[in-house]
Structure formats: structure tokens, C-alpha cells
Amino acid sequence: MTRSLALALLLLPACNGAPTDTDPDDTDPGCTTYTRTEAPAPGPLVAGYARRRIPAPLGIGTAGFGPFGAPSSPTPFQEIYPGTQHLHGHPELKAVAISRGEGHEVVFLRVDAVGMFSQLRNDIVARASAAMGRDLDDALIIGATHTHSGPGRVVNTGNPDTSFFDFIADKFFPEFYDRFAQAAADAVVEALQTAEPAEVGFAQGYSGDAHNDRRCENGEDYENGSIPVVAVRKDGQVEAVVVSYAIHGTVFSIDDLYLTQDVHGAIEEMIEDRFDHPVDVLCMNSWGGDMSPGHPADVPELDAAFIEGGFQDVRRVGWAMAEAVTAALDDAAWTDAPEISLETHRLPIDRSHIGYPDDVFERFPYGGVYCSKEPFDDCDPSTTVPDLDDACLPFNEQFPAPSQTSFTVGTVGDFTLVTWPGEATTEVGEALMDGIVADHPDAGPFLFVGYAQDYLGYALLEDDWWQGGYEASGSLWGPKQGEYLIARARDAYTTWSEQSCPDVAEPAPLEPFPYTITAYAPETALTPDVVVTQGATDVGPEDVLTVTVAGRDPWLGTPLAWVETTDGTPVTRPNTVRVDSDDYNFDVSLAVEPSYADEDRADRRFLWTFRIPVRQPVAGGVELTPGSYVIKVDVPDGAGGANTVTSAPFTVAAQAGVTSDSW
């Protein structure tokens, strides 16, 4: 099957009156009138939510780290990156739709991915728009959590040889891409189609503890811990929360061979568990380019089974964020008639449009990356790296850096919303917001969503870029990229606000990636759907329940485990949602015997191991109280159903003087 979803709606300019000329010399598009597309009057407010697994087989390659020196782990689902072997928080697609009708709606789609790419976003927009019967290009905000342990293989460079983006996201995998894009569109459609009357609350939180400034080169050790909060409630009960926070989404290493939501999933789960009922929480990323996950102090912890550092670290960050967000919600301002108005604007980007003089970044007409010279980590802010703009790896004419990108701007209730196509540093995020306020004093407070709509790598202020370091090396269009994008985002906001002509001609949207699917044929598993081994059945509060089940080819889906008492009562999280192996209470591993290196085997087994500590090490998680339990596992059967496998009983003993409320 060949697909190129260039629907007619994606061939239209972003807005009426916006020309499509992309001549680098055309900075006066000749537009004399600008009229926002007429929309019906806003109607009653409705909101809906949806969440889906990303349909990634365990064994797929990840994205973001660069695979150099990574451990070898060959599978049918990876090429350059090592194949994953473990899961902790199954990568997800989460959508929250807030709508007063066409032209007055926003859909936040949060994706466990290293970044969002224009062609992929346009594909998701096209699919969802076709299903809804209206253009969602202005409404859909797709933001990546930037986990480097999410699935890659969704960028089609069109280059049969290895390219730069292959080293970001592994080789394109057409069938997985198709499943991924469709699942994302389905989540958007479900959130819109299930929307019901609601009200929306807006609040501001802050946490300086959940992140740290990792960029030594500018010498500032500076952070902005703003947390804009958008909440939805129905019948007086909060049902969804969207937050945005500046935090680089990576705790786990490529050497860990994990698929995981990483720190964002932990933030979401620990906020969700502050409620006594189900709540969907989306944590979007803002100016996270220079912000590593923090090491918050005063996080209450319990004696529990040893869990490797990454697991505890993400929970500590989650605790700090849950404290900040729940406190902010106490002061939320609620309304059932928010103003919602958004526009997506596209812009060209290259040396000419950025306006480089001939002697700056001159060897890189198609862009450049990995700009570095010794010393790479110079933390003296008074020094710069001479000739840094001459020390990049060039893109070439056959495979240039992206030559267009996009912003979505406008208003969502109390917030001025602006997206950013990649990794803005804190200074860049603040410069953009300050610039919009300078142009439009009534703008703000801001809901800044980074890693959204597209991905152009890092963006720094020009003076900061010349100080070098990792962030500067990842800016695809050199030292002036950050300030050019700031100017164009301010222009996009002015165009939306004043219905004026853009300063630079807007290109038409890029067509989605074309591709041809060669269907993967799942292997037939030997003796599936049985318990193979089980750990100790008499356990205490500092032990782990473990069961290994013979399942099936991971292409059919990851089996789902949960815990029940022996009388059939499911164990639940504090928010009453059933504990299962897609959340952060479980750890999942897959062993393939014989390994994939032995081809054409008829006796291969897929051994799925599920581990759940009796007690989580950071307070607020799940604890199995004394009693008798079983682990049940649904193994996908390849025909749309599942076969349930049940362990032998585990007996959890009490530990004198230690309870889950002792913190």
C-alpha cells in the first residue's frame, strides 16, 4: 500500500490572505488584506479526553540519544538503535479536547516521542480532519515529552542511505509509522467525539525543585519554573489537567534498553494519584532545552525493594510537581465560556531568510549541526568559542535541514498560547514572551508549549550560542536561529491578533511522508499463554512480586498485567484506577529464546516478565497491604482478543510498625 495523505485541506494556506510564495528575497508578500477564516459563533463549552498506547512493539529502536557505542540488541524492529528489552510506563498518546465549536477549540495531544515533525503532524491533522469533517490545523497542539526512550522510526527522509535524522530517530519503519499516525488521529477524534458539557479552570503554579539548569556555558544557573495549568471539570469534579513545564524528558539511558514515558509519565501519574477519582493529566514541555530533571529535597520515601536510580528519580520529580500543581488548582478561576482562538502559521527558514552576513555560518547553505570545538564544555560565560560557526557538520543539497517550520498562537481562556518547534532554552522562551508583551501589552500570562508542531533542534540567543556546548551544537541553522524564530513567532502572534499581513510570506504546509508498507508477519510463538516461572510467593513489604509468562510476538501488542486479591478484587491506585503494567508501579521485560539472531525458528518463545514491588519507594504510590494476591496477564491473541493467564497466589506479610501512612 502506498500513502501520501496530501488532502486538499493541507494544500491551503494557513489562513486567508496569507500568500504561499517562498522566494527567499520576498520579505514583502504584497498582502494588503488579511481576514481570519469566518467561524460560527462560539457555542456551549464541551470537553473530552482520550488515551491510547503508542502501538510500538517492544524491541523497537528509540530516538534522541544517538546510537554510537550503545549496546547491541538486534530485533526485527530496529536498525541503527539497539532494540529495547524493557518497559516502564508504556509510551502513550493522550488527548484533551476543549471546544466551543469549530474555530473555537483546542486539542492538546501529548506524545511520548523525542520531537514532533511537520510532516507527521500534518498527517495526523489530515486524518483527524477527515474523520471530523472540519480542518483541525489551527486547533491541534501536538507536543512531545522528549523522552529519549520512546519509539523512533517515524521520520522518512527519502534518503536510502543513512542520514542525520536516522541518527536522531532510527530508520523509517512504514508500517509502524502508519499505526502510530492512525492511533494519534484516533485519540484526537475520540476526545472530540466524546466531549460533554464542562467548565475550564486556569491557574499558575511554580516549581524550582523539579528541574535544574544544565547549561554550564552561559554560567547563569538560571531557571523559570512556571507551570501554567488548564483544568477541566464536570459536575464540580476535576476530570482532566493540562500543564506545561520546562524539563528535559530524559532520566533513563540508551544503555538501559527501555521504552518508557520517562519523567513526564511519572509527573502525570503522581498528579493523577493526588485525586480520589480518575483524572487524565497531560504534562507538555515548555522551554526545556537547558533544563534537566531536578533532585527535589524533602520528598517522603519509604523502605521498599531496591529500584534502580531512574525509577526513584522520576518519582521524586513527580512528587514535587504534584505538590505544585495541586496547590495551584486550589486557586483556579473557572468558567464555562472561555475565549478560544488559535491560528497555525508557517514560515520559511534558511540562511537567506535568517539574514546571515556572508562571513557568518557561510559554509552551510543547507544548514549544519554538531558545531563544536575544544574545549566542548567551557563553563566560563565571559568566553566564546572562536570560529564556532565554521566547525559544524554540514547538511547537503540532497538532504538539507528543514526549510520551513510553524507556530500556533492565540488564546485559550486566561492564557496566551504559543508553541515552539523544538528545544528552546529558558532565555529564548522568556525573550519570546517578553517580545509578545512588548508588541501587545495585554498578552499573557502564557501557556508556552515547546517540542510542538515541528522540530528544529535547539534554539539559543545568539550571544549564548557562541559560548558553545551541547545545546549550541544541536541548532540546525546556526547562531541566529533562535532570534529569527523569536521574531517570526512574534510576527505570527501579531498576524493573529491584528489580522494583519505577515512580514514574511507563508509557505504551504508540507505534505505528509509518502511510504509503501511491506507487512510484517508476526512469528508463531511456541507454547504461549502459560506461566513459565514465578518468584517467591511469601513476600514482605520490601519484596517484589514476579511472574514470567510465555506470550506472543511483540508486534501483536504488549501483554497487560494487573494484580487482584484472590477473591477477585483488583488493586487500585489512589485515584481508584486499576493498577496495571502500563503504569509506573510495574516493570516489564521481554526475553526472546532463542534470540532473534537465530532466524527462521519454529520453537521461539517470547518470555514476558512482570515485576511489581509490594511497596513503592516514594510516598504516594501503591502498596499491597497484607493478604493474598494473584497477577493476571492478558496476552494478545493476534485476532483482536486476549487470553488471560493467572499466577499462583502470593502472600504479602505485614511488617510491624511500618505502614503506608507512616510518612
Is the pLDDT at 288 greater than 70? The verdict is yes
Residues of the chain with CATH 2.60.40.2300: 530-652
Residue 35: pLDDT band (50, 70, 90) is low
User: Are 139 and 106 a contacting pair, CB within 8 Å?
Assistant: yes
pLDDT at 12: 27
Residue 32: pLDDT band (50, 70, 90) is low
Residue 22: pLDDT band (50, 70, 90) is very low
Phi, psi angle pair for 464, to nearest 5°:
-70, -40
pTM: 0.94
Residue 17: pLDDT band (50, 70, 90) is very low
Sign of CA dihedral 411, 413, 415, 421: negative
- Mean pLDDT value across the chain: 91
pLDDT at 317: 97
Is the pLDDT at 660 greater than 60? The verdict is no
Please tell me the least confidently modeled range out of 295-309, 434-448, 454-468, 534-548: 295-309
User: How many angstroms separate the CA atoms of 25 and 364, rounded?
Assistant: 18
Residue 21: pLDDT band (50, 70, 90) is very low
CATH class of the domain whose range is 530-652: mainly beta
Residue 33: pLDDT band (50, 70, 90) is low
User: Are 442 and 449 a contacting pair, CB within 8 Å?
Assistant: no
Looking at residues 501-511, what average pLDDT do you find? 93
Residue 374: pLDDT band (50, 70, 90) is confident
Please tell me the least confidently modeled range out of 255-259, 337-341, 492-496, 602-606: 602-606
Residue 598: pLDDT band (50, 70, 90) is confident
Which of 187-217 are b and which e, b meaning 16 or more Cβ less than 10 Å from the residue's Cβ? Answer: bbbbbbeebeebbbbbbebebebbbbbebbb
Q: Which DSSP symbol is given to 350?
A: S
Is the pLDDT at 18 greater than 80? The verdict is no
Share of the chain above pLDDT 90, in %: 82
pLDDT at 262: 97
Residue 603: pLDDT band (50, 70, 90) is confident
Which of 516-552 are b and which e, b meaning 16 or more Cβ less than 10 Å from the residue's Cβ? Answer: eeeeeeebebeebbeebebeeeebbbbbbbbbbbbbb
* Burial status of residue 398 (CB atoms within 10 A of its CB: 0-12, 13-18, 19 or more): exposed
Digit-coded pLDDT (tens) for 86-114: 999 999 999 999 999 999 999 999 999 99
Is the pLDDT at 661 greater than 50? The verdict is no
Is the pLDDT at 652 greater than 60? The verdict is yes
Please tell me the least confidently modeled range out of 27-31, 76-80, 454-458: 27-31
Digit-coded pLDDT (tens) for 38-60: 788 999 999 999 999 999 999 99
Q: Which DSSP symbol is given to 301?
A: B
Looking at residues 288-312, what average pLDDT do you find? 89
Q: Which DSSP symbol is given to 608?
A: E
Looking at residues 361-386, what average pLDDT do you find? 88
Looking at residues 146-158, what average pLDDT do you find? 94
477 versus 33: the higher-pLDDT residue is 477
pLDDT at 117: 95
Please report, for residues 245, 275, 317, 424, 466, the alpha-carbon distance to residue 204 in angstroms, rounded to integers and kept in the order given.
Answer: 11, 19, 18, 21, 34
Looking at residues 449-478, what average pLDDT do you find? 96
